């Protein structure tokens, strides 16, 4: 099993604060720039799992950077540079307290809700008689609140505006961007033999302008199916072959863990951890269409600190 980066504790020039998220560590530089380090931590059901996944941070950071560049004509984004394979430096924006989730297919948590009898998701009416992994007539936007700790909660557009979480004009622009980004992501996925099933986007504001922030179209924020087996598996009522973090969630569910009180995370053997790493690399190669190059990772902390410090001192 390769070495992993699961914790950072740097002190960069101009550093004002640091935020340790579930997967990323974000350093505030002079209240102007953000240094986002994609660690090898992995979370599911809003719980950080006990072991890191080798190369996961590099995979996520490099996919996100590629897609930020590929969608910059749709919406301005926060990215300035990627000084290290696991790091993106960008503009500091004031993040909105909602995540914009868009779904093209009925799967994952939406399917679990549907199977339980719910026909309204985030204010969106769902038709009766749908099957797991079925394509929606057109993609649906199902936002959630963004929690610092614990679970994010589903919420409707109307509630978001009523509670003042986001103003009507800003929300409608974010919704427009969400649909356009999903369309672009779908187009790119199709060209690589994949289906972009669902994903989430985060937005922030800087100087009165809305920016796309955080990651985009990675296996942590998105779900992909293989296009060539979709129809056959769907018609047979079999699970889709997919490239996303959903396979980790399914493994946890099968082993009696869904993040609920009293439940224990199953043992993550070295073999299991390596298999998860292989799946992340597989997704990278599928969606980017290039061989994944494993960067030197004997001393990740030193490499990252050196690269970030060199960039900030320019």
Phi then psi for residue 255, to 5 deg, are: -100, 20
Total Cβ atoms within 10 A of residue 31? 10
pLDDT, one tens digit per residue, over 44-82 is 988 999 999 999 999 999 999 999 999 999 999 999 999
pLDDT score recorded for residue 270: 94
Q: Is residue 222 part of a domain?
A: yes
pLDDT, one tens digit per residue, over 147-184 is 665 567 899 999 999 999 999 999 999 999 999 999 99
Q: Is residue 234 part of a domain?
A: yes
- The answer, yes or no, to whether residue 279 has pLDDT greater than 60, is yes
Average pLDDT over residues 180-195: 96
- The answer, yes or no, to whether residue 243 has pLDDT greater than 90, is no
Average pLDDT over residues 276-280: 91
Q: Is residue 16 part of a domain?
A: no
Q: Which long-range contacts (CB under 8 A, 24 or more apart) does 72-79 make?
A: 74/177, 74/180, 74/181, 74/184, 75/177, 75/180, 75/181, 75/210, 75/211, 75/212, 76/209, 76/210, 76/211, 76/212, 77/211, 77/212, 77/213, 77/216, 78/34, 78/204, 78/211, 78/212, 78/213, 78/214
CATH of the domain at 218: 3.30.470.20
pLDDT score recorded for residue 241: 85
Q: Is residue 47 part of a domain?
A: no
- The answer, yes or no, to whether residue 275 has pLDDT greater than 70, is yes
Handedness of CA 188, 195, 274, 68 (dihedral sign): positive
Alpha helices (H) along 71-209: 108-115, 157-162, 168-191
Q: Is residue 139 part of a domain?
A: yes
pLDDT score recorded for residue 43: 92
Average pLDDT over residues 98-127: 95
Q: Is residue 195 part of a domain?
A: yes
Share of the chain above pLDDT 70, in %: 98
Structure token pair of residue 163: 């509670």
Which range marks the domain in which residue 174 is found?
96-244
pLDDT score recorded for residue 148: 62
Q: Is residue 210 part of a domain?
A: yes
CA dist 90 → 106, 245, 296 (Å): 34, 26, 24
- Mean pLDDT (the chain) is 94
Look at the chain and report how many structural domains it folds into: 1
Q: Is residue 89 part of a domain?
A: no
Average pLDDT over residues 110-132: 95
């Amino acid at each position: 099993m390769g070495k992993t980066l699961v914790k950072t504790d740097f002190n960069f020039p101009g550093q004002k604060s640091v935020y340790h998220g579930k997967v990323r560590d974000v350093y505030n530089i002079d209240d102007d720039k953000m240094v986002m380090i994609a660690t090898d931590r992995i979370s599911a059901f809003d719980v950080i799992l006990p072991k890191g996944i080798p190369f996961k941070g590099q995979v996520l950071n490099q996919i996100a950077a590629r897609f930020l560049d590929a969608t910059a004509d749709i919406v301005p984004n926060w990215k300035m540079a990627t000084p290290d394979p696991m790091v993106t430096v960008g503009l500091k924006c004031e993040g909105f307290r909602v995540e914009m989730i868009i779904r093209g297919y009925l799967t994952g948590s939406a399917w679990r809700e549907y199977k339980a009898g719910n026909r309204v998701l985030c204010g969106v009416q769902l038709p009766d008689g749908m099957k797991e992994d079925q394509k929606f007539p057109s993609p649906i936007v199902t936002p959630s609140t963004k929690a610092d700790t614990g679970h994010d909660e589903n919420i409707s557009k109307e509630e978001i505006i009523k509670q003042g979480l986001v103003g009507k004009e800003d929300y409608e622009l974010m919704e427009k961007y969400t649909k356009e980004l999903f369309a672009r992501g779908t187009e790119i996925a199709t060209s690589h033999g994949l289906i972009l099933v669902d994903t989430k986007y985060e937005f922030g504001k800087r100087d009165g302008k809305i920016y796309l922030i955080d990651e985009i179209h990675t296996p942590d924020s998105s779900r992909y199916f293989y296009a060539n087996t979709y129809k056959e598996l769907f018609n047979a009522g079999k699970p889709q072959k997919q490239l996303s973090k959903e396979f980790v969630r399914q493994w946890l569910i099968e082993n009696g863990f869904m993040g609920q009180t009293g439940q224990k995370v199953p043992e993550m053997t070295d073999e299991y951890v390596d298999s998860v790493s292989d799946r992340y690399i597989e997704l990278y190669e599928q969606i980017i269409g290039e061989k994944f190059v494993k960067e030197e990772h004997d001393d990740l902390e030193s490499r990252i600190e050196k690269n970030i410090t060199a960039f900030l001192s320019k």
